[in-house]
């Protein structure tokens, strides 16, 4: 698995470098000053598998499309976009230093967020201090929302919404016992706390909960002990490598509960590629696919055509929606960052996920959701009002 990820990262980084470098030549020859947009992204290190699926390909695709259309409309005046991007190597200190340089000395016009809850938790206060609007597509942290940073806007559903939707679905299907493994970082701890809170007052019992460290290589001992307890549902609050690890090792030991839920990475095309037919019936974090709106289908097809791969059905949709919001706002009020912040905070936007508005920095329009692989597509199955397919209530046996 590690070898595959490494090869993919190298290929993606090479493609991204070419995509970013190419328009710089034309900018130097242009009389118009480009809009410089800075960010760091995990191109190496443990966050890279997620970052290079759900976030940076969308930044690059968006810049390509904007420039192909003549540039970003800044209060009606078209200016090219120049991405100023660095590899943060999945290191928070590196990301902090780089963003300080981008905002403090380089004074880029705008910034885009890095990948992951922990990274965003470190960078969002910095962006607030420098006064840069920060539309975060991969930050799951109620603590970060509760900090009430004026320039911070979270696009992804927060742990209370996501775990609340999951528990509602389990309750509706008479689940009585669950077992949980979770990442021992901000993402895992906050989601675990939200899960416990959502379970209060229900008849669902947690019969096992185990944390594990970033970079874990073997989950089979805990999975074997959970199998012996025979829970109705397994919940993995996991990152992409761990999501695949938990799935493959559960198959190896023939641990096949009625409901099998994993988190980040379940909705990635890579999951379907690696797990194959065994993906059928697996649940996970995901809130959109190409069926949710006609605009989502246009985006999906463009991503698949231009980036030579499908977007994931989790945060890619939110990343694109954030770029749409930023673009609409710059068109309306220009690059004055305080005006941008106020416009984003006080208006509703058309996006591929539907209309989005923010309430105290949180996406107030997209509810918590549950997704499920069905016949090669990651369908939204909960809540029913947002579902693109009906929930399959018993996971098929591993093949």
* Structural domains present in the chain: 35-157+292-363 (3.40.50.2300), 159-286+369-386 (3.40.50.2300)
CA distance 319 to 88: 19
CA distance 85 to 112: 10
CA distance 225 to 251: 14
CA distance 89 to 41: 8
Q: Which two tokens stand for residue 349?
A: 């936007």
Q: Which two tokens stand for residue 274?
A: 């690696």
Per-residue pLDDT of the chain (399 residues; tens, 9 = 90+): 333 334 444 444 444 444 444 444 344 444 479 999 999 999 999 899 889 999 999 999 999 999 999 999 999 999 999 999 999 999 999 999 999 999 999 999 999 999 998 899 999 999 999 999 999 999 988 889 999 999 999 999 999 999 999 999 999 999 999 999 999 988 899 999 999 999 999 999 999 999 999 889 999 999 999 999 999 999 999 988 999 999 999 999 999 999 999 998 999 999 999 999 999 999 999 889 999 999 999 999 999 999 999 999 999 999 999 999 999 999 999 999 999 999 999 999 999 999 999 999 999 999 999 999 999 999 999 999 999 999 999 899 998
Q: If phi over 0 gives left and psi between -120 and 50 gives alpha, with beta otherwise, what is residue 389?
A: beta
Laid out side by side, the sheet with 152-154 consists of 134-136, 152-154, 362-363, 358-359
Q: Which two tokens stand for residue 225?
A: 């002990």
Residue 368: other Cβ atoms inside 10 A:
24
């Amino acid at each position: 698995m590690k070898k595959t990820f490494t090869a993919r990262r190298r290929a993606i980084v090479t493609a991204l470098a070419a995509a970013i470098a190419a328009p710089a030549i034309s900018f130097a020859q242009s009389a118009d000053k480009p809009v410089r947009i800075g960010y760091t992204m995990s191109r190496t290190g443990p966050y890279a598998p997620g970052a290079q699926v759900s976030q940076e390909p969308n930044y690059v695709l968006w810049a390509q499309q904007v420039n192909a259309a003549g540039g970003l409309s800044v209060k009606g005046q078209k200016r090219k976009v120049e991405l100023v991007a660095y590899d943060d190597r999945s290191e928070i200190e590196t990301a902090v230093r780089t963003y300080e340089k981008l905002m403090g000395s380089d004074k880029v016009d705008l910034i885009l967020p890095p990948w992951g809850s922990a990274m965003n938790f470190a960078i969002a206060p910095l962006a607030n201090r420098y006064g840069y609007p920060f539309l975060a597509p991969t930050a799951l942290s109620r603590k970060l929302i509760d900090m009430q940073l004026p320039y911070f806007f979270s696009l992804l559903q927060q742990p209370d919404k996501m775990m609340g939707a999951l528990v509602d679905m389990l309750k509706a299907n008479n689940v009585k016992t669950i077992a949980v493994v979770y990442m021992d970082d901000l993402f895992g701890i906050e989601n675990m706390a939200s899960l416990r809170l959502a379970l209060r007052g229900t008849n669902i019992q947690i019969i096992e909960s185990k944390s594990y460290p970033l970079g874990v290589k073997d989950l089979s001992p805990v999975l074997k002990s959970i199998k012996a307890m025979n829970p109705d549902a397994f919940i993995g609050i996991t990152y992409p490598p761990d999501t695949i690890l938990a799935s493959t090792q559960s198959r190896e030991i023939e641990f096949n509960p009625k409901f099998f839920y994993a988190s980040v990475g379940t909705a990635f095309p890579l999951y379907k590629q690696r797990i194959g037919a065994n993906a059928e019936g697996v649940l996970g974090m995901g809130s959109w696919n190409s069926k949710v709106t006609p605009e989502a289908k246009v985006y999906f097809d463009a991503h698949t055509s231009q980036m030579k791969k499908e977007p994931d059905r989790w945060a890619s949709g939110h990343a694109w929606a954030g770029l749409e919001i930023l673009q609409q706002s710059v068109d309306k009020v220009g690059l004055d960052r305080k005006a941008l912040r106020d416009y984003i905070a006080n208006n509703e936007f058309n996006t591929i996920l539907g209309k989005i508005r923010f309430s105290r920095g949180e996406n107030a329009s997209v509810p918590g959701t549950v997704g499920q692989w069905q016949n090669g597509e990651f369908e939204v199955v909960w809540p029913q009002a947002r579902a693109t397919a009906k929930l399959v209530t018993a996971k098929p046996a591993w093949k």
